[in-house]
Structure formats: C-alpha cells, structure tokens
Amino acid sequence: MGIDINGTKLRILIYADDITILANNTEELKEMTEKVEEATKRIGLRLNKEKTCWMGNVEGVLRIQNLEIQKTEKCKYLGQTLTFPNEHSEEIKDRIRSGWCKFQEVKWLLMNKKTPTSLKAKYYKMCIEPALLYGAETWAWTKADRIKLSRSQKKMERMMCNVKLRWGIRSKRIRRWTGLDEVVVKATERKWKFGRSVVKMPEDRWERKITTWKPDGKRPIGRPRTRWQDETRKKVGIDWMEAEDGRWQEALRHYTEEIKDYCHI
C-alpha cells in the first residue's frame, strides 16, 4: 500500500490533527482509512468524516462505515490550496486574496495621508508580504501568475501612496517612495533557496526523493502543465542538481532582471 517513490512507499502524511493518506486506488484508500480510524479510536480521538474528502484520477465511490466520503477537486491542506488536476494558479489567487484581507484589516491606516510611508511599508513587510508568499517555495507557477501577483502589489502601493492610476505616475517612481522589494522576485528567491537546499539534502530525505521521482505513465496530450522544476531547469540548466552555487547565483541574478523587466519595475 502507498505510492512507490523510488523504491520507498509513501503512505501517510501527518501534521498535528491533519492527515493525508496516499493510495493507488479506492480499495486501498478505504482499507488505509479504516486502519487510521481504528488507531485514532484507541487513543480517544475520532475521525471527522464531515471534514474528510478525497481526490484522485480514478472514478469510484469511497465509503467508510456506510458513509460516503465526498470526492473533491479542491481542498485546503496546511494552509495551501490543493487542486486536481494540480494547478498552482488557484493557490496563488488564494494568496492574493489573503494579502488583500491583511490590507483591508488596517486600510484606515495604510490609506491615511498622515501615516508615514515608512510605517506603511513596515506593516506590508510584516503582515501582507508573508500572506502573499506563504508556500512560495512549492509553486509551479506561470508567467501569468507572476504578473497577477506583481499587479496586486503595485495596486496596494498606489493605495498606500494615495496615487490614482489616471495620474500617470509610473510604478518605478512609486516603488522608490515605498522602498519595497518586488514580490515576484522575493517569491522566486524563496523557491530557488529551497531548491538549492533540496540539492544539498541526503538522498534519503523525502524532499529530495519527491524532487527526483518520475511517476509511472505519460503526460497527457497537449501543452504540458508547468512543473516545479521547469523554472530552474530552464534558467540553471537541465543539470541544475549538479550545478555549483556560483552558477545558481548568476542564473538567479539574470532571472530577477528579467522578472523586473516584464513586471515593469
């Protein structure tokens, strides 16, 4: 039971009371879920079937003790939005919404002309930016996703500086006023830093195993979906896992300049 990852079975992920079970089919998933339920009962806990759902690329019905478990194409796990098929565009939309929620909480302060811009920027860095970038290390995102994220930041900056779009003041000038870093660059730096740390991990670490894993089967016909490592393969090279630190840093420097160019910063 479980998913074969380079010869090792990955069956279950547990963090506090959040549990994810990985199986090859619904029969296997049913058996594993029932075992988890039995184990939780022995220590006085209960499996909340109303909050339990399953995702997969197979048809079927999952029943646990005559109760049908809902099949879904979208759910939250550890604060991140998971979709099937896997598209990080949904997660990035949720990150943008989370950032705007943090902005709206103190909109009265951020849009007050008497509030120093330095204080507004400090709040952005401490509260809004973490909401925007949560989980950025795992994103398999597209250029369109990056542009959406950048536009959201620029809109916030205009509101913080009380600048109307029709005034024609360029984003570069507003960015000088706020002193903020481009959010897309920050996200890319986080992802590349994590990618570099994965390369240096022992081969028995799950992060490295998953990164080098090649699932069975073929990719569907049509334009392939963006994979997590496509970005580094394109910018660092297909041998990115063997590349030296200097090559990574040089590739990141060129890439951030490219990002700033199409984000108009």
pLDDT at 265: 65
pLDDT tens per residue across span 64-85: 777 778 888 888 888 888 887 7
**pLDDT attached to residue 183:** 94
Q: Which residue numbers in the chain have pLDDT < 70?
A: 86, 265
Q: Over the chain, what is the mean pLDDT?
A: 86
For residue 123, what are the domain limits?
87-212+229-265
pLDDT computed for residue 126 by the predictor: 95
Are 91 and 162 members of one domain? yes
128 with 159, same domain?
yes
Residue 15 parent element (H or E): strand 12-15
Closest CA to 117 of 172, 153, 155, 158: 158
72, 97, 129 - which closes a domain? 72
SS3 per residue for 167-184:
HCCCHHHHHHHHCCCCHH
Contact 152, 132 (CB under 8 A): yes
Count of domains observed in the chain = 2
The C-alpha atoms of residue 3 and residue 5 are separated, in whole angstroms, by 6
Start-end of H helices in the chain: 26-42, 88-105, 107-110, 117-123, 129-133, 143-160, 171-178, 183-199, 206-212, 230-235, 245-262
pTM (2 decimals)?
0.86
The pLDDT assigned to 76 comes to: 82
Clarify whether residues 65 and 91 are in a common domain. no
Cis ω before 220 (30° cut-off from 0): no
Provide Rg for the chain, Cα atoms: 22
Token pair recorded at residue 188: 């890319």
Asked if residue 217 belongs to a domain, the reply is no
